[in-house]
C-alpha cells in the first residue's frame, strides 16, 4: 500500500520542486546598508547599489566584490564592481572608480554578507510540496519547507525555519533543530539528533551502521549491532557525500561549530571537537577523539582509539597512528613532528650531493691507502 500523501500547505503558484534551481527576485542593497551589516567605513558614494556578488577580476556594474589577497590588488583599480570590500590596512596607490567599504577583515566580511543573502533567499521557501510523506506522529515547526519526495518518519521533530530539500530521508525519532538546511538526497537514519543552524549538503548519510564485525575462529565475521546514534550540535556544516556512522552504543558526536568538507568518513563512536575543521577525503576511525580547534588537511587518515589534542594541526595526506599533543603540528605517514619533517626534507634534497661527496672521499681514501702500502 502506498503511503498517504500529505496535502500541500502555503505553496506559491508555479513554485519549482527543485528549490535550488529557482531564481529569487533580484534584491537591491545600497552601500550604506552593507556597511552597517559588516561594521564598515565607506569611501566613495554611499548611495550606490548592488544586486549580486562577483569576483574582483570579473565583476560587472551592480555587483559587490572583495579584496583580501594582495595578489589581486591590481584589479581593484580597474574593476567594474560598484562596491569593493577591502581591509582597513589597504593603501591605495591610485584612484578607484568603485565605492570602497573598509573593514578589519575583508574575507570574513564578505562571508557574512553571503550568509545574510542566503538567509534571505531561503526565507522565500515555505510549505510542503507534493508528493511527500510525513508520519502522523511527526511534528513540524513554523515556516518550514519540505520538498517533493521527502520522507519523514514516526516521531521525528523538525524545528522552526528548517528547510528540507527533495528526496531527503528523515528516519524515525530523528530530531532536527531550528534554522537547519538539509539538501537533496541527504539520509538521516533513526534516532539521530541535530542541533540548530546545521547545514548538511547533498548525498550525505548520517547514522549508517558503524563498521563493527567480530572475527570468528573459522575466519568468518559476525556483525555487531550498532544501536547508538549520531549527535550533531549547533552551527555545524557538513559537506556533500559525507558519511557519519552511528555508534555501537552511545553516540558519535560532532560538536558545535565543526566544519566538515566533502567526501569525509567519520567512524562509529568518534568525536569531533568544537570548531574543528576537516578537509575533503579524510577518514576518522572509530572511537578516535578529536579535540577543539583542530585543523585536518585533505586525505588525512586517523586510526581508531587515539586522541588528537586541542589546536593540533594535521597536514594533508598524513597518516596519524598515535595520539597527538595539544597544539602540535604533524605531517607524513606515519605522521610525526612538522618541524622535524621539514628538516628531514631539506636533508633529503641534498642526498645526491652527499652521495657524490662520499664516493669521492672513498676514492681518495682508497688512493691514500694504496700509496701507503
Q: Are the beta carbons of 190 and 153 closer than 8 angstroms?
A: yes
pLDDT over 50 (residue 305): yes
- Whether residues 90 and 186 fall in one domain: no
Predicted pLDDT of residue 25: 57
**Phi then psi for 248, rounded to 5 degrees?**
-60, -55
List alpha helices for the chain, DSSP H.
31-38, 106-123, 338-349, 351-372
Predicted pLDDT of residue 336: 74
pLDDT over 60 (residue 6): no
- Whether residues 234 and 104 fall in one domain: no
Q: Is residue 21 part of a domain?
A: no
Predicted pLDDT of residue 355: 87
Range among 110-124, 170-184, 336-350 rated most confident: 170-184
Q: Is residue 291 part of a domain?
A: yes
261 or 358, which is more confident:
261
- Whether residues 315 and 180 fall in one domain: yes
For residues 202-210, give the mean pLDDT.
Answer: 97
Predicted pLDDT of residue 8: 37
Q: Is residue 14 part of a domain?
A: no
- Whether residues 320 and 331 fall in one domain: yes
pLDDT tens-digit map of 340-367:
777 777 778 888 888 888 898 988 888 8
Residue 344, SS3 per DSSP: helix
Q: What is the DSSP letter of 197?
A: S
Q: Return the active site residues.
A: 268
Burial class (CB in 10 A: 0-12, 13-18, 19+), 277: middle
Domain count, the chain: 3
- Whether residues 119 and 194 fall in one domain: no
Predicted pLDDT of residue 83: 97
CATH number of the domain where residue 80 is located: 3.40.1390.10
pLDDT over 50 (residue 12): no
For residues 168-183, give the mean pLDDT.
Answer: 98
Predicted pLDDT of residue 370: 84
CATH number of the domain where residue 321 is located: 2.160.10.10
Range of the domain at 84: 29-123
Tell me which residue of 295, 299, 297 sits closest to 281, measured CA to CA. 299
Q: Are the beta carbons of 101 and 38 closer than 8 angstroms?
A: yes
pLDDT over 80 (residue 19): no
Amino acid at each position: 500500500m502506498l503511503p498517504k500523501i500529505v496535502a500541500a500547505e502555503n505553496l506559491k503558484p508555479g513554485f519549482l520542486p527543485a528549490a535550488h534551481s529557482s531564481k529569487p527576485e533580484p534584491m537591491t542593497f545600497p552601500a550604506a546598508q552593507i556597511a552597517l551589516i559588516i561594521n564598515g567605513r565607506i569611501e566613495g558614494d554611499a548611495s550606490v547599489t548592488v544586486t549580486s556578488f562577483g569576483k574582483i577580476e570579473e565583476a560587472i556594474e551592480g555587483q559587490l566584490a572583495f579584496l583580501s589577497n594582495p595578489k589581486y590588488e591590481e584589479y581593484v583599480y580597474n574593476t567594474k564592481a560598484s562596491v569593493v570590500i577591502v581591509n582597513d590596512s589597504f593603501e591605495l596607490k591610485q584612484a578607484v572608480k568603485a565605492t570602497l567599504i573598509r573593514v578589519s577583515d575583508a574575507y570574513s566580511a564578505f562571508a557574512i554578507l553571503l550568509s545574510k543573502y542566503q538567509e534571505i533567499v531561503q526565507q522565500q521557501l515555505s510549505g510542503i510540496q507534493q508528493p511527500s510523506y510525513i508520519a502522523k506522529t511527526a511534528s513540524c515547526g513554523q515556516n518550514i519547507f519540505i520538498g517533493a519526495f521527502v520522507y519523514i518518519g514516526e516521531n521525528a521533530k523538525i524545528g522552526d525555519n528548517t528547510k528540507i530539500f527533495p528526496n531527503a530521508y528523515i528516519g524515525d525519532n530523528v530530531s532536527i533543530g531550528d534554522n537547519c538546511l538539509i539538501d537533496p538526497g541527504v539520509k538521516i537514519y533513526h534516532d539521530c539528533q541535530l542541533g540548530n543552524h546545521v547545514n548538511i549538503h547533498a548525498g550525505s548519510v548520517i547514522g549508517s551502521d558503524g563498521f563493527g564485525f567480530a572475527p570468528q575462529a573459522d575466519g568468518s565475521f559476525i556483525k555487531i549491532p550498532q544501536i547508538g546514534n549520531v549527535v550533531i550540535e549547533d552551527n555545524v556544516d557538513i559537506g556533500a557525500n559525507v558519511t557519519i556512522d552511528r555508534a555501537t552504543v552511545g553516540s558519535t558526536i560532532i560538536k558545535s561549530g565543526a566544519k566538515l568538507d566533502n567526501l569525509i568518513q567519520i567512524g562509529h563512536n568518534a568525536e569531533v571537537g568544537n570548531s574543528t575543521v576537516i578537509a575533503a577525503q579524510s577518514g576518522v576511525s572509530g572511537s578516535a577523539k578529536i579535540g577543539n580547534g583542530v585543523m585536518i588537511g585533505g586525505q588525512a587518515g586517523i586510526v581508531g582509539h587515539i586522541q588528537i589534542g586541542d589546536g593540533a594541526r594535521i597536514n594533508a595526506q598524513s597518516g596519524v597512528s598515535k595520539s597527538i599533543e595539544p597544539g602540535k603540528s604533524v605531517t607524513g605517514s606515519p605522521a610525526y613532528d612538522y618541524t622535524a619533517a621539514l628538516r628531514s626534507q631539506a636533508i633529503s634534497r641534498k642526498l645526491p650531493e652527499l652521495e657524490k661527496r662520499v664516493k669521492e672521499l672513498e676514492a681518495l681514501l682508497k688512493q691514500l691507502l694504496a700509496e701507503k702500502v
